[in-house]
């Protein structure tokens, strides 16, 4: 990956050029995606310009739209870390959905166990800790299998998703089931005192803050600590890191634990702020979307925030495509697919744009 630096058309210093490039490329990709999607809409009989206008208005047009976008972005920031942190060590974890479900399960069980015996803040703390630990251990299992048994972590974490969801479904139809809640098999409700409320002056729940803080901490951890340095070093070359005496095993377990705990926390936020109980609605693709967010942000936790907001905006605009333009519900999926494919493709253009070309 090391690219030889050499003077080129642009007289700017190397670092600056890379930074401008890092901003410019995704924007160009987004524009290309919009053009392709516009063509798609035109074929489907909608006016592309009107569609762009509606998407902007529905996602970022006003404060209410922004809130819609941020609410959808909040869980994605947390689930993305589940892929982004282990990726620093060269691991491809896709068990985000499972870790989220297990985190939600742990949070609900904790909340139901503690009840109202403790002050709400402590209960919320206990729920968060339970979710962090449970989600962390869940993904750490994939890391441990990788390290001790050589099991491919991508596949094992994928399988763990299905197992987590089956376990949750089993529990909410069996031991945890609240027979008085009739719309779907669900656990008992978390006591209202312990719900995670909204940020004052908005309808955005506190989960957004959790997500932002987690991303900032993750960034600091990776970029500013010796742990992060060791992880990055080991990620770029495991064999060399082993030779240099880095504890690759412990690092593997640690990044997996941290990643899983972020997704677990997303599960806690989802049950404590949104669902208030445990049921199948917890499985709503935040985990899989998080994988993409992580890759598109190149596993940089700060970029994750921006990409999560972008995806949140796309999701927020999905409804307006149906309501104002008569496009079917699948249009937003096509839009997402095009945007992500374009941004992923743009990654390969680093150092290949005119003016940014490597010597």
Complex with other proteins: residue 37 or 219, whichever CB lies closer:
37
| Per CB under 8 A, 5 contacts other proteins | no
Cβ atoms of 112 and 104 closer than 8 Å: no
Give yes or no for residue 42 binding other proteins (CB under 8 A): no
For 225, the token pair is 């600590």
Query: Minimum Å distance from CB 92 to other proteins?
Result: 5
Q: Is 222 exposed, middle or buried (0-12, 13-18, 19+ CB in 10 A)?
A: buried
* Nearest residue to 267 (alpha-carbon basis) of 77, 104, 111: 104
Output the six-digit token pair for 325.
């333009």
Give the list of residues 6+ apart from residue 351 with CB closer than 8 angstroms, or none.
Answer: 3, 21, 357, 358
Contact 254, 144 (CB under 8 A): no
The DSSP code for 117 is S
Q: What is the DSSP string of 122-191?
A: HHHHHHHHHHHHHHHHHHHHHHHIIIII---HHHHHHHHHHHHHHHHHHHHHTTTB-TT--SS--BPPPP
Binding other proteins (rule: CB under 8 A), the pick from 34, 71, 208, 309 is 71
Least separation in angstroms between CB 353 and other proteins? 14
Asked if 329 is part of the footprint of other proteins (rule: CB under 8 A), the reply reads yes
Among 118, 169, 206, 306, binds other proteins (CB under 8 A): 169
| Residue 358 binds other proteins (CB under 8 A) | no
Question: Quick one: 159 or 209, whose CB is closer to other proteins?
Answer: 159
Q: Is residue 182 part of the contact set for other proteins (CB under 8 A)?
A: yes
Q: Which of residues 146-165 bind other proteins (CB under 8 A)?
A: 147-152, 154-156, 158-160, 162-163, 165
Interface with other proteins includes 333 (CB under 8 A)? yes
Q: How far is the CB of 152 from other proteins (least distance, A)?
A: 6
CA pair distance 167, 161, nearest whole angstrom = 10
Q: Does 30 bind other proteins (CB under 8 A)?
A: no
Does 88 bind other proteins (CB under 8 A)? Our answer is no
> What crossing angle do the helices spanning 331-346 and 286-296 adopt, rounded to 10°?
30
Q: How far is the CB of 344 from other proteins (least distance, A)?
A: 6
Verify binding: residue 322, other proteins, rule CB under 8 A: yes
Cβ atoms of residues 186 and 279 within 8 Å: yes
Is 68 near other proteins (CB under 8 A)? yes
Stretch that binds other proteins, among 12-20, 104-112, 212-220, 327-335 (CB under 8 A): 327-335
Write down the least CB distance from residue 82 to other proteins, Å.
13
Of the candidates 123, 153, 122, 124, the one whose C-alpha atom is nearest the C-alpha of residue 139 is 153
By CB under 8 A, residue 332 contacts other proteins: yes
Q: Does 2 bind other proteins (CB under 8 A)?
A: no
Report the C-alpha gap between 168 and 157 in whole angstroms. 16
User: Phi first, then psi: what are they for 198, rounded to 5°?
Assistant: -105, 155
How far is the C-alpha of 151 from the C-alpha of 160, rounded, in Å? 13
Contact call for residue 242 and other proteins (CB under 8 A) = no
- Segment 191-230, which members bind other proteins (CB under 8 A)? 192
185 binds other proteins (CB under 8 A): yes
Stretch that binds other proteins, among 213-221, 252-260, 270-278, 301-309 (CB under 8 A): 270-278
Q: Which of residues 96-135 bind other proteins (CB under 8 A)?
A: none
Asked whether position 320 contacts other proteins by CB under 8 A, the answer is yes
Is residue 12 close enough to count as binding other proteins by CB under 8 A? no
């Amino acid at each position: 990956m090391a690219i030889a630096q050499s003077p080129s058309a642009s007289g700017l210093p190397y670092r600056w050029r890379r930074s401008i490039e890092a901003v410019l490329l995704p924007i160009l990709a987004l524009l290309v995606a919009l053009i392709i999607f516009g063509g798609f809409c035109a074929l489907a009989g909608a006016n592309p310009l009107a569609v762009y206008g509606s998407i902007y208005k529905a996602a970022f047009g006003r404060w209410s739209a922004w809130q819609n976008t941020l609410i959808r972005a909040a869980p994605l920031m947390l689930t993305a870390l589940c892929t982004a942190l282990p990726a620093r060590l060269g691991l491809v974890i896709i068990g985000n959905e499972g870790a989220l479900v297990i985190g939600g399960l742990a949070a609900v069980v904790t909340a139901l166990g503690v009840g109202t015996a403790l002050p709400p803040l402590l209960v919320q703390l206990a729920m968060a800790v339970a979710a962090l630990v449970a989600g962390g251990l869940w993904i750490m299992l994939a890391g441990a299998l990788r390290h001790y048994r050589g099991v491919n972590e991508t596949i094992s974490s994928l399988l763990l998703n299905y197992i987590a969801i089956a376990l949750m479904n089993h529990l909410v139809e069996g031991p945890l089931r609240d027979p008085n809640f009739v719309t779907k098999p669900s656990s008992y409700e978390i006591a209202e005192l312990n719900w995670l409320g909204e940020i004052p002056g908005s309808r955005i729940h506190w989960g957004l803050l959790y997500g932002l803080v987690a991303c900032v901490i993750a960034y600091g951890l990776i970029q500013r600590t010796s742990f992060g340095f060791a992880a990055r070093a080991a990620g770029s070359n495991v064999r060399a890191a082993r030779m240099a005496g880095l504890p690759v095993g412990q690092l593997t377990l640690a990044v997996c634990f941290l990643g899983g705990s972020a997704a677990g926390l997303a599960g806690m936020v989802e049950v404590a702020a949104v669902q208030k109980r445990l049921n199948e609605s917890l499985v709503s693709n935040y985990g899989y979307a998080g994988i993409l967010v992580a890759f598109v942000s190149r596993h940089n936790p700060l970029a994750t925030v921006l990409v999560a907001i972008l995806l949140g905006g796309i999701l927020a605009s999905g409804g307006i495509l149906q309501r104002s333009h008569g496009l079917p519900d699948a249009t937003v999926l096509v839009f997402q697919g095009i945007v992500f494919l374009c941004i992923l493709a743009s990654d390969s253009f680093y150092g290949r744009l005119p003016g940014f070309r490597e010597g």
